[in-house]
Structure 1
């Protein structure tokens, strides 16, 4: 019998508790139907409310508590508080979102993985019919780069103020994120072949492959890390002759994401550039309301990975039952598939949840429904 898999549920701010509530209902339905060895614990932090009561976003031993779990399911962070009343408790983004960076760095979640596939029923923002074939995986280096928070401000608040922000890139992190991209390209090609969804990419020497990895840098201006990424990419690509390769500068990549997103398969980028590209890819594949996100540590089984939808806390509609839980449910499905590394039954449950959410999206895309109505419809499919 498989060991019990433990999930830390952190609903967070704004609409987070509402969409997480529907995710938990789906987990309950899956556990009952499939007999899953699965349990979860809810935490009231990190959140704006916890900070208002305790003067901090979460307890000092939060990471220590979370490390005991196999995965973290996060609803949303970033609620600043009642912005229409300056006398009430407000939080800047640098504080309300800081637990995200703490978890990513504390648990070495060095992969941020965001699939962008335009599913039936999702909003198609591009008029070109070929946009229906958008199916890419954007992989963002999540542990270093532009978000290492090294730097400072000198003579703050004076006309002579100086702000420094340092970027840090290591060859170890560069190699592992690029190699991960190639491994995912191979895996995606294998899955597409099973599903008879073949694609074709041309290699530099004219051969045709089922998969492709596109590296994104700004090496013409940020040459030091850009050159290191490019050299590592070229070296590692020789280990994967069955995968086509491509390189784009980040500004050109943004343009081509809009012009021809169907031409991309797996995209690998740095922390900041990947952050921008993943949001753009999410919109191209239907919007933030349907986009999942994963923060993964593929190398250390003792470190939990963290799963969150790409949307924010949306405080303007919080508590009104209007939030669409679709992105949260797709994220939960990705979490279960990831946990399938420890228990194959969870991978099957994740696929079942994905199929149920996708079917609901396809059948009800033109209807305006509330949070609980959508969740109930998907639970009914699961049952």
Structure 2
């Protein structure tokens, strides 16, 4: 066969493989012959396949050395079991952090990578150490400390949050960026670490006074991980503080206006929290978990959309309500890749037995409003934070670092 003919056959095979319905089917095809595997595991092909078939939710990384795989009858359960056998979620391959506490725990996940933090056990006001790792390939990068001269040592650090930034289309797939937000008494500092420069830089800084408040306690981080936006809310002022991590700019959106204000004031209901804001061309969508504290204990996820009038973002309209099954009390955990993650647990109610020792994690498809139970978790997990882990089967996964 001539090189031209061989190349043409490879292109035809690529088109066939792109039409396979699931990553599991693709993994099975890759085992049929060395040629199939070579084509399927090429990064260019996997990028095309990923655009058509988003990677499945395989489970949740949590705590120190914890991973909760998807369980039957979830469709990802077989792949999740393979991931558990192949990956190291104890992070034993990452050098011990330079703190007396020393244990790594996941704080964010994206593209098969995990962002790890290690902080002093009883000093949550100290900037933590960071590392990025791929638990499948066991590759890692330990990040340098944030330069002390860029911090505000004379002020108290009230809160911090670390996230993995999305990879831009023109960036190399092996590169990554980490965003660290430090909530000081006087201002909000945002740092960015680039795997290209291997350095931290101050990407954005704004005083709380400029955001309309003098009290950093009143600004609470919301879930992010979609479209490169990060959000804080200030319920007492009805505002959202928004950081566009691509433009490295802050702006303010009205939180309690129009139909959204009516939702907040709905009689007999209480807002558990507004858990995700999605930025699309600087317009926002929000998914708010609302609980009915009446005898039925009903929960619903209210989808409100903010309307852009060209000047400001002041009108919210109710788009959809996803009713949640009865029998559980719910809380939000996070959101990413088009899914909301909810925690549900049984609570004694009107004489009915309950069990707070049983917690289930659910995923809600934000497009279809389909709620799916993923797994049962240990409620005693001290971090109470879980990171949604998406990926391909081990046979298709390329090292991400």
TM-score by length of 1: 0.29
Say which structure is richer in helix.
1
TM-score by length of 2: 0.28
The higher-RCO structure (CA 8 Å, 6+ apart) is 1
Say which structure is richer in strand.
2
